[in-house]
Amino acid sequence: MALPTTMRTLLQTSRESTALISTTSPLPTPTHPDDVLVQVHATCPCAGELLWARDFPNAIPASKVLIPCQDLAGTVVSAPSGSGFAEEDRVYCRIDAGRPGAAREYALARATELAKIPEGLGWIEAAATPLSALTAWQALFVHGTLNSKAVIGDEDTKKENGRQRVLVTGAAGGVGSWLVQLAALAGAGAVVAVCGTNKVEAVRELGATEVINYQETTVEEWVAVDPAGREVDLVVDVVGGKTLGGCWVGVKEGGTLISVNTPPDMVKPAGSEKKAKSSFFIVEPLGNNLAEIGDLIAAGKLRPTVDSVWEFDEFEKAFERLESGHAKGKIVIKVSDQA
């Protein structure tokens, strides 16, 4: 395969600025024994990612070339022997945030991050999957209290999961839509979705059994109607702020409260004596988790949710749509003509 010497690349101008420019750069060269060179067909931005280098200097090395968009769907160009991947394989992944992203025509991913794209899943839907689906999977089954065996048909664990009520904030968004689907598939006794008016029907279609319309009522007000019946065993939050603070009222005594936005203890209401396990985590880009998710997609049990698709040169509009907070699912940027 003849490769070009340069490629289109999005670049953040500095760690202190969220400004992006479209430029030209050389193709990346594998330097790690696990590096796989991938031609990128589509990628996705993540809310807040342009602030990561500034706000989380311990997680984002000073040496990182600030190329955004860690989600990738593309074709393998070269892979190390024994990696499990070969030239022309259709792959997708979440690139670790400490390394340059996929907003460029060719990117380097690690074999441990990659999974093969399920048959029937196009480039756009594939790009919309890794970060959000992995975050949801790990929130529910690694850090949370649901058992993942239920999603592959284990009836005993499905009955165990059925004893738990789960609440998801930002339920119509990129991560939230996967959380609702996975919790429902795992047999949670109730899946309570927090979303706005124009997203109520969408989250019900994904599997929500109860909906809190935050434009009409808060989590606290909703729970207060029937605390014994409405409190939940597990909260997974993607919103933070007042919404997460209100979830302390919604979680049962001794329950579990997880956020991928903010450490829950930081917004615990003053004077609250509620005791619950609380944690904040950053997703691990594990290809084996993504492969499990891919099997469920191939079986028709899960589906990615795409809000909108943008051409590479429309990257500014794509980021504006993302940061508006009104997206229903993922924002996707087409990188190649194949997408």
Q: Would you state the pLDDT for residue 156?
A: 96
Q: Would you state the pLDDT for residue 329?
A: 84
Same domain, 95 and 115: yes
Same domain, 142 and 275: yes
The whole-model pTM stands at 0.94
- CATH code assigned at 216: 3.40.50.720
Whether 287 maps to a domain, the answer reads no
Same domain, 138 and 273: yes
With 0-12 / 13-18 / 19 or more C-beta atoms within 10 angstroms meaning exposed / middle / buried, residue 213 is middle
Whether 292 maps to a domain, the answer reads no
Whether 75 maps to a domain, the answer reads yes
Q: Would you state the pLDDT for residue 325?
A: 80
Same domain, 144 and 112: no
Instruction: Label each residue of the chain as H, E or C.
Output: CCCCCEEEEEEECCCCCCCEEEEEEECCCCCCCCEEEEEEEEEECCCCHHHHHHHCCCCCCCCCCCCCCCEEEEEEEECCCCCCCCCCCEEEEECCCCCCCCCECEEEEECCCCEECCCCCCHHHHHCCHHHHHHHHHHHHCCCCCCHHHHHCCHHHHHHHCCCEEEECCCCCHHHHHHHHHHHHCCCCEEEEEECHHHHHHHHHHCCCEEEECCCCCHHHHHHCCHHHHCEEEEEECCCHHHHHHHHHHEEEEEEEEECCCCHHHHCCCCCCCCCEEEECCCCCCHHHHHHHHHHHHCCCCCCCEEEEECHHHHHHHHHHHHCCCCCCEEEEECCCCC
Percent of the chain residues past pLDDT 90, beyond the cut: 94
**Look-up of token digits 């460029």:** 104
Domain tally, the chain: 2
Whether 329 maps to a domain, the answer reads yes
Same domain, 205 and 110: no
Whether 295 maps to a domain, the answer reads no
Sequence-distant (6+) residues with CB within 8 A of 300 are none
The pair phi, psi for residue 202, each rounded to 5°, is -65, -45
Whether 299 maps to a domain, the answer reads no
Same domain, 261 and 240: yes
- Residue pLDDT, tens place only, 210-227: 999 999 999 999 999 999
Give the HSE-up count for residue 334: Cα atoms under 13 Å, Cβ half-sphere: 12
- CATH code assigned at 22: 3.90.180.10
Which parts of the chain register pLDDT below 70?
1
Start-to-end C-alpha separation, the chain: 19
Range of the domain at 192: 134-280
Q: Would you state the pLDDT for residue 1?
A: 64
Same domain, 13 and 118: yes
Supply 304's token pair. 């990615």
Q: Would you state the pLDDT for residue 236?
A: 98
Q: Which of 265, 280, 295 is the last residue of a domain?
A: 280
Supply 29's token pair. 């060269």
Same domain, 122 and 228: no
Whether 293 maps to a domain, the answer reads no
Same domain, 102 and 66: yes
Same domain, 116 and 188: no
Whether 270 maps to a domain, the answer reads yes
Same domain, 12 and 105: yes
- Residue pLDDT, tens place only, 105-164: 999 999 999 999 999 999 999 999 999 999 999 999 999 999 999 999 999 999 999 999
Same domain, 139 and 268: yes
Supply 68's token pair. 């955004």
